[in-house]
Amino acid sequence: IHVDDIYELVGDDFDDEKVWNTISSKYTTGLFQVSSNLYKQRMSRLNPRTIEQLATCLALVRGPCVANKTDEKYMLINEGKEEIELIHPIYDEVTKETNGILVYQEQLMQICFNIGFTLDDGYRIMKLAAKKKMDELKKYEEQFLILAEKKQMDELTAKKIFKMIVDSGLYSFNKSHALAYAITVYITAYLKTY
């Protein structure tokens, strides 16, 4: 079967309500990626309705995010039980589509870039955080604080954002990977639904 044949069957707007109801249920057996008990417990609370929301769910429901309750925070915001924590426009703008939570590697790199680093440095910071190389990250923290001050960001906020960057580096996910997975989940949910 060719990819074009799949899109002819499923469509490319990914807006079928019945399919989203299948994905957002506990009846996900047989669906790509979301058939485990962990996902079955969470999909109805995550309740994605777009490919972008589903991608975020896939990036969040993984060991490190579950362990530090990042997925729980996202679900509470989704359910209207918590508000999105606004930190600073540089951070808030980059994380607005993920409920103010740093989920993707690209977001981490974008925040670093918006502060004043090059994209190469943003990539290095993401890699160092993922490998828990805290000594090397310290060098970037000093530079982060200097650049943040130039953007009229107070030191406390800058330190908070840098800590969030370091913490998220341990679990952040590649967005293009998450989107490809989300499309595959949708396709398998379409096939199960119909």
Percent of the chain with pLDDT over 70: 99
- pTM value is 0.90
Contact indicator for 169, 125 with CB cutoff of 8 Å? yes
Q: What is the pLDDT of residue 6?
A: 80
Provide Rg for the chain, Cα atoms: 18
**What is the band of 1 on the pLDDT scale with cuts at 50, 70, 90?**
low
User: Closest by alpha carbon to 76, among 47, 55, 114, 97?
Assistant: 47
- Confidence band, pLDDT 50/70/90 cuts, at residue 163: very high
Q: pLDDT digits over 12-48, tens only?
A: 789 999 999 999 999 999 999 999 999 999 999 999 9
Indicate the SS3 state at residue 104. strand
DSSP annotation of 96: G
- DSSP state for residue 171 in the 8-state scheme: T
Question: Quick one: pLDDT at residue 39?
Answer: 95
Rounded Cα–Cα distance for residues 47 and 34 (Å):
13
